[in-house]
Amino acid sequence: MDKARIAVLVSGGGTNLQALINAQNKGIISSGQIALVISNNPNAFALKRAAKAGIPTAVITKSELGSQQAFEERIKKELQSYQIDLIVLAGFMSILSKNFTADFPERIVNVHPSLIPAFCGKGYYGLRVHEEALKYGVTVTGATVHFVNEIPDGGRIILQKAVKIKEGDTPEILQKRVMKQAEWKILPEAVEQVSKKLMNNRKVVLR
Ligand code: GAR
């Protein structure tokens, strides 16, 4: 069967990328195949994870290209040359403009470490999300996988999973629990779901 060709965009540690690689190896992801990893940070450990799994990588930085537009055009070029069907933002810490997202309607998914619409939008990323959840005093948080559109964290929700906050939690402890109990599970599940749908509908517009 034809598989959806997936590009994973990363910036940091890449534990979510690792979860996707593991899911692919275990057959949890069977309708898609990770064909490319793009990082906007040359020092991202995620690049090492990709290399170890034999996945081609590209480093594209905004500072080198000078503008958001040039940065996004360069990413688009790379996606085209790898005939990518589905883009996964897995800890990608750069907001993509409408110029980019409009080209890939329901073709970009993102994992966010809270239950959207709480603690999301511009400025809410990484550890900051968990700091704000603890500051607010919520007793339940979680993770969300959603489609990406021009509104930061505003696209249609695909999957969510709740995670309990415990007494004594620090942002770091909570971040780890949210990853382990939610992100590393729902991201591969959502990627399989979307890949399967894409292949069934054969709406492969990028190829
Ligand atoms: C993850 O918790 C991811 O949900 C979050 O950054 C972390 C990246 O970790 N993403 C965002 O906050 C996006 N708004 P990883 O590099 O180990 O996957």
Whole-number pLDDT of residue 205:
53
pTM of the complete model beyond 0.85? yes
Say which CATH number the domain at 44 has: 3.40.50.170
Task: Give the model's pLDDT for residue 202.
Answer: 72
What does the pLDDT profile of the chain (207 residues) look like in tens digits?
799 999 999 999 999 999 999 999 999 999 999 999 999 999 999 999 999 999 999 999 999 999 999 999 999 999 999 999 999 999 999 999 999 999 999 999 999 999 999 999 999 999 999 999 999 999 999 999 999 999 999 999 999 999 999 999 999 999 999 999 999 999 999 999 999 999 998 754 554
- Residue 94 CA to ligand 1 centre (angstroms): 11
**146 belongs to the catalytic site:** no
Number of domains, the chain: 1
- Cα–ligand 1 centroid distance for 95 (angstroms): 13
Exposure letters 2-27 (e unless 16+ CB within 10 A, then b)? ebbbbbbbbbbebbbbbbbbebbeee
**Diameter over CA atoms, the chain:** 50
What is the model's pLDDT at position 206? 53
Range of the domain at 165: 4-206
Atom of ligand 1 nearest to the CA of 178: 2
Which tokens go with 120?
């999301």
* Catalytic residue of the set 49, 112, 130, 185: 112
- Does ligand 1 have an atom closer than 6 angstroms to the CB of 133? no
**Would you state the torsion angle of the CA atoms of residues 93, 97, 102, 104, taken in this order, to the nearest 10 degrees?**
-20
Q: Find the 202 Cα to ligand 1 centroid distance in Å.
A: 30
Q: At how many degrees (to 10) do helices 127-136 and 171-178 cross? A: 110
Q: Is 142 in the pocket of ligand 1 (CB under 6 A)?
A: no
Contact 60, 71 (CB under 8 A): yes
Residue 139 gets the label, from left (phi > 0), alpha (psi -120 to 50) or beta, of alpha
